């Protein structure tokens, strides 16, 4: 890692939104110099207040040894990275550079992106996929689970950066392995969220206190972090986004593609795809993942009163 001005090193960070902003701030808090870029200017305020440095173009990161991308999907990453790849094509990086994709992306497509980066940089830059789980709360606390696909030497070199943002950082294989692991994670989260929503609906329809129900279930085998995070929001019908639910549909499509490649049949994944496809079609996709509860209520004719769209 390049050392600058007494800091631990310099890192680039592209995407300073709901997740990326807190993650970049944790790097700053750990002593890194962070140079950041974001599509919309509003995100720069908290970043600069924490000590981050705004850049005008991603191409300015051409000389930085570690560059993190935290944008919603790979096409956005490819678009944002285009000036960087052009800069490398004109003048390859002088030392090993690691492009860290921390978004949830296709395990297949991220390998193609890796090949494009390798060509543009004359083999001097490598893509590492390191998607995260833990939501905005985990991003803010620096306790994310980070699933990494990388060569062993690249993983070791990135350890200090990744551990500044996550509490559980694991290499699962070569490039693409991290994204496949995240797809598996999302299959579990998505189906669990949908099951919680339907449990709440049937309980409410039969006159149970849903809060008391989830309280007792959380102490048994049904308890999970998904329940801990989503149950209070479902009970309050508070769907203020901590991460838009529409991204679950995108992630489940990655599961579908991986299953097709492996020749595996996944009935629960297929059912979850149907649920979250319907959720997006119902214009709930910009709300929190907990909004799958609203979809379940509508399906059951229980959504007669408006839900809480915003917090004061």
CB 109 within 8 A of CB 78: no
HSE-CB at 16 with a 13 A cutoff on CA atoms is 29
**Cβ proximity of 254 and 104 under 8 Å:** yes
Burial of 15 (0-12, 13-18, 19+ CB in 10 A): buried
Is 182 part of the annotated catalytic residue set? yes
**CA pair distance 19, 25, nearest whole angstrom:** 10
Phi, psi of 13 (to 5 degrees): -140, 120
Given 111, 182, 250, 265, the catalytic residue: 182
For 67, phi then psi, to 5°, come to -130, 115
Packed helices 177-205 and 107-120: angle between N→C axes, nearest 10 degrees: 150
- 107-120 and 246-262 are packed helices; what angle lies between their axes, rounded to 10 degrees? 90
CA separation for the pair 102, 26 (Å, rounded): 15
Give me the active site residues, please: 182
């Amino acid at each position: 890692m390049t050392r600058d001005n007494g800091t631990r090193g310099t890192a680039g960070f592209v995407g300073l939104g709901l997740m990326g902003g807190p993650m970049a701030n944790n790097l700053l808090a750990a002593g890194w110099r962070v140079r950041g870029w974001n599509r919309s200017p509003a995100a720069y305020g908290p970043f600069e207040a924490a000590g981050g440095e705004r850049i005008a173009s991603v191409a300015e990161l051409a000389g930085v040894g570690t560059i993190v991308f935290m944008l919603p999907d790979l096409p956005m990453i490819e678009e944002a990275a285009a000036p960087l790849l052009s800069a490398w094509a004109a003048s390859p990086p002088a030392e090993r550079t690691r492009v860290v994709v921390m978004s949830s992306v296709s395990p297949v497509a991220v390998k193609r992106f890796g090949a494009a980066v390798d060509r543009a940089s004359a083999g001097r830059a490598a893509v590492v996929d390191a998607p995260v789980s833990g939501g905005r709360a985990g991003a803010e606390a620096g306790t994310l689970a980070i699933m990494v696909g990388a060569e062993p030497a690249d993983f070791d070199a990135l350890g200090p950066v990744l551990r500044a943002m996550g509490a559980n950082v694991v290499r699962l294989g070569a490039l693409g392995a991290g994204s496949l692991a995240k797809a598996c994670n999302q299959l579990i989260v998505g189906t669990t969220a949908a099951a919680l929503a339907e449990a709440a609906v049937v309980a409410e329809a039969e006159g149970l206190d849903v809060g008391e129900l989830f309280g007792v279930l959380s102490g048994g085998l049904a308890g999970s972090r998904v329940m801990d995070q989503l149950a209070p929001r479902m009970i309050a019908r508070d769907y203020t986004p901590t991460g838009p639910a529409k991204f679950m549909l995108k992630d489940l499509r990655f599961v579908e593609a991986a299953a097709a490649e492996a020749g595996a049949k996944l009935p629960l994944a297929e059912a979850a795809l149907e649920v979250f496809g319907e959720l997006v079609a119902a214009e709930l996709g910009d709300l929190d993942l907990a909004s799958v509860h609203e979809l379940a209520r509508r399906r059951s004719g229980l959504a007669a009163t408006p839900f809480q769209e915003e917090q004061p």
